[in-house]
Amino acid sequence: MAKTRHKNPRTAMRYTRPGSEAVAEITGILAPPRRH
């Protein structure tokens, strides 16, 4: 994943634009799931 100045992976994804599957995997690993 490209290095960015953003500490929040969700914010960095906005610029790196990985595949949707990669986003789901990275988000699942780094961020706790937010269920409403």
The pLDDT of residue 29 is 76
Alpha helices in 1-36 (DSSP H): 9-16, 20-30
Range of the domain at 13: 1-30
The pLDDT of residue 16 is 60
User: 5 vs 11, 17, 33, CA distance in Å?
Assistant: 10, 15, 24
The pLDDT of residue 22 is 73
Domain annotation covers residue 16? yes
Domain annotation covers residue 35? no
Per-residue pLDDT tens listing for the chain (36 residues): 555 565 676 666 666 666 677 777 777 777 666 666
Domain annotation covers residue 20? yes
Give the separation between CA 17 and CA 36, rounded to whole angstroms.
Answer: 25
Q: What is the DSSP letter of 20?
A: H
Tell me the pTM.
Answer: 0.29
Give the number of domains in the chain.
Answer: 1
